[in-house]
Structure 1
Amino acid sequence: MIRSLLLSATLSLSVTLPQIAQAQGLAGPYLAARIAGYSNDYAAAANYYNQLLARGVSSPRILENAVVIYAALGNVDRAAQAAEALEAGGFQSQFADGAKLVSALTKGDYDEALGLLDERGVSGALLDGLIRAWITAADDDPEGVAEAFDALAQTAGFAPLARIHHAYALAMAGDFEGADDILSGRAHGTLNLTTRGIEAHAQVLMELGRDADATELLARANGATNSPVLQSLAERIEAGDDVGWSFITQVPDGLAEAYFTLAAIFAGETSSTFTLLSARAANALRPDHLDALVLTAELLEEQDRFTLANDVLNRVPRDHPSFFGAEITRAGVLLSAGKDDASVEVLSALTKTNPDRQVVWSAFGDTLRRLDRFQESSVAYERAIDLIEEESDRDWYLYYVRGITYERTDRWALAEADFRKALELNPDHPQVLNYLGYGLVEKRIKLDEALDMIERAVEARPEDGYITDSLAWVLYRLGRFEEAVEPMERAVDLAPLDPTINDHLGDVLWVVGRKREAEFQWHRALSLEPETEEDVKRIRRKLEVGLDVVLEEEGGVGPIEAAQD
């Protein structure tokens, strides 16, 4: 239902111009708003809708679109005004109801909010149920709160979230024993807590004077995650700081958590615009909800709204434990926006202010690697690996990416050692198997082992064109030409726009005598813009004189017989 409603609102941006806009001579602003909204350019669209609404336009289509745009910008008041105008015209809209609900909740007008929920529901059973329960918590009625959350828990799939939010409400009311019963799993069974749930439970345990239990809980969590909030909380407890309940201290905080819960569930699963509306609502109700801020920025980045995303991240306080995490996200936003130097500058500054944070060095290394600055990237990964205190399975990634930087800077012995270390920590990971196997093939060593690795990688990811290309290429290198044709053709089918794979197919086709098809593939590879000028020159040379002559000129760099040790 939510998907279909959002789709209809999106599609309404591309329908014919409403007659009222034509009659009032507002075709320009309307068309501009429609185009801007369709491309998620919320700021530009809002500007045009401001012009339309200032001229008294009352088209329901325009008003509903305006509601969505204003809400996506986090402008609660303007969204509610457009919603009221839509309702005044006798039209109903779930988006308008949602905007009015958020407005009522931010103003603390819970009677109006309940009226909207009672009349026809607003945001679906889960969010509506959480909102009802949190509004009940404003009346200092523990039994009513329990009944509201219990009622929500009766719906299949809603029970875990209803129980977790009930625990938050109990802690807000000072019933830390009851909150612990739920969060520990004693009351209703084990709950799969997110890092936010773990943070809340640790604070509950501290309120109960169970410092050791809180420390143990956080130690387990920090062994499996890189949450700066949980790490900071553990450090504060170890330092003897007065850690108490601050997770949710008032009803608006709980309401914000309800909206964030919905946004977190839908992130990556449904329309990013719908998820953005929920994240924006969470921030309207609780401006310091850092996870909602970061999620909002990530959603805006996904829609290429880099300036808006950067503006959101600038709201994260520098002294908050999540600041460096938000800065890492901001660096990613800048990189996506093509501001490479600014992205590197942000992360470089973080390495100076947070030199002991492994995740900072890892992010710095990732960014430098994406920019092909492999030497610098390897140094960053070295720092990250040096910060490993107790090695765990999750550290495979650092060895893998450092191995890539070593390979790209012609330090194969170090690269191979890192790839093997990564496999030791994460056996049979297809990316590592493929990269190491392909590297062994290119180095012309240990070919039997390389083939075995790549075959295992293909088995794990049969739809990955790059891994399938590696399998075909090692068969080619081993002189098993006919066997290489089928996987190489399949690799091109899986990754048709990759110049290297198309080039490889040309080579394989050439050696089995399909020379005209090979030339076609080389022409196609050139049209796909190979990565380096050297690649371009080599392909053109093959088209001029054929693969056999090129291999002879290169000293026979084709099928090989090599040492297997």
Structure 2
Amino acid sequence: MADPNPGAYLAARQANVANDFGSSAHYYTKSLLSDPTNAALLEKAMTSFMALGQLDRAIPVAQAMVEKGYQSQMANLALSAKAAKDGDWSDIFTALEQGRGVAPLVDGLSQAWAHLGEGDMKKALNSFDQLIETEGMAVYGMTHKAYALGLVGDFEGAEAVYLEAAAKGQLRYSANSAMAHAQILSQLDRNDDAVAVLDSVFGTQRGPKVEAMYQALRAGRNLPFDTVSSATEGLADIFFSVANAVKGEAPDNYTLLYTQAASYLDPDNSNSVILTAELLDNMKQFDLANEAYASVSRDDPAFHAAELGRAQVLFAAGRKDAAIEVLDALTRSHPDVPQVYATKGDTLRRAGRYADATPAYSRALELYDSSSPVTWFVHYTRGITYHKTDNWTAAEADFRAALDMRPDQPQVLNYLGYSLVERGEKLDEALDMIEKAAAAQPENGAIIDSLGWVLFQLGRYEEAVGYMESAAALLPVDPVINDHLGDVYWAVGRETEAQFQWQRALSFDPVEADADRIRDKLSRGLDLVLRDEGLDPIRMASGND
């Protein structure tokens, strides 16, 4: 036996905590050289490979664990995926008979699809029916039963399943099951009913795939049934459905194992690939997320959604120019998709390229339907770019346009209200706006800061103190808020505390212009700074000028 390698083990643990799956796979594998039968090391090595999407490397580890009698849900998941990919359906039955299941829902659906894989539709339907009768599993059982019937061309039977689910109050559409139902109805020459299903589930928020279906239905074409085209894809949908159900509740690194298993079985399913990329993005594994997004085919209806995600992770990784290049390419390949231009505007704005962002937002507004629920946000963000480029008239018009659509939207109320305060304009209206925003989001430090600051500008210094102190408690390391609190303390005669807050503000790296002004206040006091700026000095509560 090789000597123990504590360095590799510690490196593996650290990489695992950081969700650095490549490094954790490397170091856990290295650790196994000195302790090849360690169940915990085998589990971690295997799940690291699975998280990377390298199931071909995870499966031998899973097989070794089973041979050694170790119990592992994820080993069972990996081996179930292998059996489905290879068409070795008997392996799934054997595993279940030996108690090597994944979870009751996954096991029941896997068994049903395995029967179908073997060509025994009667046993498959019996298995689906058993799930339908099991508490908490009826929706999944009915959905997959309909898929299975659609797969074998029994569209009347599949529609009967949807009707039964509706009659029992058990019809719960996912995006996939809604599209499947539309395809089934279309195969029954009921395109109008298919459109009604898509409308009820997606409304105007149709993604590219749904939009393509919608247009085909409107044109009178029959949709092929391709939601599930094999028993193997049936299992892939199980894994994806589980991931979709637990995302946001289970840890991302656990959910990721299901999406990677789904992609292993059905690599062309962009839904699984995109969810994988989103999970990796959440875990700040930007390079892996970029690879996942980039794997979506240019011919896939979801290509532009994947590219939007890729631009996001590139930006998050600090590759701002690369992100903008992706979006530039998208405007050429998808010139009529408003979300592309809105995202390009957001990315340029976040990069500080406000003048370049404005026309992107303008093009998005030209393309969006006037009834779209997102246009308020585009007006808001374009207003920010106008404000940053000193076009206040256009900025105010956009902010007010956003408020016409969303009168109580806190971010817009706060931004417009704060900007009016900074300009010394319409202060009473600004106060009303910010009070409304603060009532809606009392734990938002930026909004509470705005409320304190407008009271300060109105000369209501004592009232401003409490709000500014609350804002500083909510955002304790924000240089602007600490600077504002110092000014408010100065105004009520609490000079020592004002000096302390200004010093704190400097320690949090304010922009250089603000830093210079803070240093001036520390040197001479706020009143002399205001006087040199052509403003009236504050008459302090102590009575000193």
Contact 1:170 1:178 in 2 (8 A): yes
> Against the structure 1 CA distance between its residues 332 and 141, is the aligned structure 2 distance closer, same or farther, given a 3 Å change threshold?
same
Mapping of residues 166-181 of structure 1, within 5 Å: 166-181=145-160
Contact 1:362 1:384 in 2 (8 A): yes
State how far apart, in whole Å, the 2-side matches of 1:247 and 1:558 are. 71
- Aligned match of 2:440: 460
State how far apart, in whole Å, the 2-side matches of 1:59 and 1:32 are. 17
- Aligned match of 2:49: 70
Mapping of residues 278-357 of structure 1, within 5 Å: 278-357=258-337
- Aligned match of 2:495: 515
1:398 aligns with 2:398: no
State how far apart, in whole Å, the 2-side matches of 1:318 and 1:151 are. 41
> Against the structure 1 CA distance between its residues 119 and 298, is the aligned structure 2 distance closer, same or farther, given a 3 Å change threshold?
same
Q: Which stretch shifts more, 438-447 or 149-158? A: 149-158
Mapping of residues 187-198 of structure 1, within 5 Å: 187-189=167-169, 191-198=171-178
- Aligned match of 1:554: 533
1:207 to partner: Cα distance: 0.9
State how far apart, in whole Å, the 2-side matches of 1:557 and 1:399 are. 36
State how far apart, in whole Å, the 2-side matches of 1:466 and 1:479 are. 20
Contact 2:85 2:265 in 1 (8 A): yes
Alignment match of 1:381 (pick from 361, 365, 371):
361
1:479 to partner: Cα distance: 1.2
> Against the structure 1 CA distance between its residues 181 and 412, is the aligned structure 2 distance closer, same or farther, given a 3 Å change threshold?
farther
- Aligned match of 2:223: 243
- Aligned match of 1:443: 423
State how far apart, in whole Å, the 1-side matches of 2:422 and 2:484 are. 13
State how far apart, in whole Å, the 2-side matches of 1:419 and 1:260 are. 41
- Aligned match of 1:500: 480
- Aligned match of 1:98: 77
- Aligned match of 1:7: none
Q: Which stretch shifts more, 500-509 or 282-291? A: 500-509
Amino acid at match of 1:356: D
Question: Over residues 243-283 of structure 1, what are the superposed CA-to-partner deviations in whole Å (9 max), with x where a residue is unaligned?
Answer: 31111111111111111111112222221110110100110
Question: Over residues 341-395 of structure 1, what are the superposed CA-to-partner deviations in whole Å (9 max), with x where a residue is unaligned?
Answer: 1100000010011110011111111111111111111111100100123423332
> Against the structure 1 CA distance between its residues 143 and 129, is the aligned structure 2 distance closer, same or farther, given a 3 Å change threshold?
same
Q: Which stretch shifts more, 356-365 or 147-156? A: 147-156
1:53 to partner: Cα distance: 4.5
Alignment match of 1:162 (pick from 123, 126, 141):
141
Contact 2:386 2:392 in 1 (8 A): yes
Question: Over residues 10-59 of structure 1, what are the superposed CA-to-partner deviations in whole Å (9 max), with x where a residue is unaligned?
Answer: xxxxxxxxxx7xx6243343333333223222122223344445667222
Contact 2:105 2:137 in 1 (8 A): yes
State how far apart, in whole Å, the 2-side matches of 1:135 and 1:485 are. 68
Contact 2:87 2:117 in 1 (8 A): no
Return the TM-score normalized by structure 2.
0.92
Amino acid at match of 2:249: E
Contact 1:129 1:152 in 2 (8 A): yes
> Against the structure 1 CA distance between its residues 301 and 166, is the aligned structure 2 distance closer, same or farther, given a 3 Å change threshold?
same
Amino acid at match of 2:379: Y
> Against the structure 1 CA distance between its residues 518 and 183, is the aligned structure 2 distance closer, same or farther, given a 3 Å change threshold?
farther
Question: Over residues 508-542 of structure 1, what are the superposed CA-to-partner deviations in whole Å (9 max), with x where a residue is unaligned?
Answer: 11111111111111111111111x21111111111
Q: How many residues align?
A: 538
State how far apart, in whole Å, the 1-side matches of 2:270 and 2:129 are. 29
State how far apart, in whole Å, the 2-side matches of 1:87 and 1:121 are. 9
Alignment match of 1:134 (pick from 78, 101, 113):
113
1:110 to partner: Cα distance: 2.5
Q: Which stretch shifts more, 316-325 or 73-82? A: 73-82
Amino acid at match of 1:551: L
Please give the secondary structure, in 2, of the residue aligned with 1:393.
coil
> Against the structure 1 CA distance between its residues 186 and 41, is the aligned structure 2 distance closer, same or farther, given a 3 Å change threshold?
closer
State how far apart, in whole Å, the 1-side matches of 2:472 and 2:139 are. 45
Contact 2:4 2:35 in 1 (8 A): no
> Against the structure 1 CA distance between its residues 548 and 133, is the aligned structure 2 distance closer, same or farther, given a 3 Å change threshold?
farther
Alignment match of 2:22 (pick from 36, 43, 52):
43
> Against the structure 1 CA distance between its residues 179 and 25, is the aligned structure 2 distance closer, same or farther, given a 3 Å change threshold?
same
State how far apart, in whole Å, the 1-side matches of 2:35 and 2:160 are. 56
Contact 2:20 2:285 in 1 (8 A): yes
Contact 2:191 2:218 in 1 (8 A): no
Amino acid at match of 1:475: L
1:121 to partner: Cα distance: 5.7
- Aligned match of 1:81: 60
Question: Over residues 318-353 of structure 1, what are the superposed CA-to-partner deviations in whole Å (9 max), with x where a residue is unaligned?
Answer: 111111111111111111111111100000010011
State how far apart, in whole Å, the 2-side matches of 1:158 and 1:550 are. 70
Alignment match of 1:490 (pick from 463, 470, 478):
470
State how far apart, in whole Å, the 2-side matches of 1:151 and 1:460 are. 48
State how far apart, in whole Å, the 1-side matches of 2:203 and 2:397 are. 25
Amino acid at match of 1:68: T
- Structure 2 spans left out of the alignment, 5+ residues: 540-545
Question: Over residues 135-166 of structure 1, what are the superposed CA-to-partner deviations in whole Å (9 max), with x where a residue is unaligned?
Answer: 34335555544443343345554433333333
Amino acid at match of 1:36: A
> Against the structure 1 CA distance between its residues 533 and 54, is the aligned structure 2 distance closer, same or farther, given a 3 Å change threshold?
same
State how far apart, in whole Å, the 2-side matches of 1:154 and 1:372 are. 57
1:257 aligns with 2:248: no
- Structure 1 spans left out of the alignment, 5+ residues: 1-19, 561-565
1:277 aligns with 2:285: no
Contact 1:454 1:471 in 2 (8 A): yes
State how far apart, in whole Å, the 2-side matches of 1:503 and 1:53 are. 55
Q: Which stretch shifts more, 272-281 or 537-546? A: 537-546
Amino acid at match of 2:531: E
Contact 1:226 1:359 in 2 (8 A): no
1:481 aligns with 2:461: yes
> Against the structure 1 CA distance between its residues 28 and 208, is the aligned structure 2 distance closer, same or farther, given a 3 Å change threshold?
same
Please give the secondary structure, in 1, of the residue aligned with 2:374.
helix
> Against the structure 1 CA distance between its residues 211 and 94, is the aligned structure 2 distance closer, same or farther, given a 3 Å change threshold?
closer
State how far apart, in whole Å, the 2-side matches of 1:464 and 1:128 are. 45
Mapping of residues 356-375 of structure 1, within 5 Å: 356-375=336-355
- Aligned match of 1:410: 390
> Against the structure 1 CA distance between its residues 152 and 484, is the aligned structure 2 distance closer, same or farther, given a 3 Å change threshold?
farther
Q: Which stretch shifts more, 324-333 or 309-318? A: 309-318
1:192 to partner: Cα distance: 4.2
Please give the secondary structure, in 2, of the residue aligned with 1:225.
coil
State how far apart, in whole Å, the 1-side matches of 2:490 and 2:206 are. 50
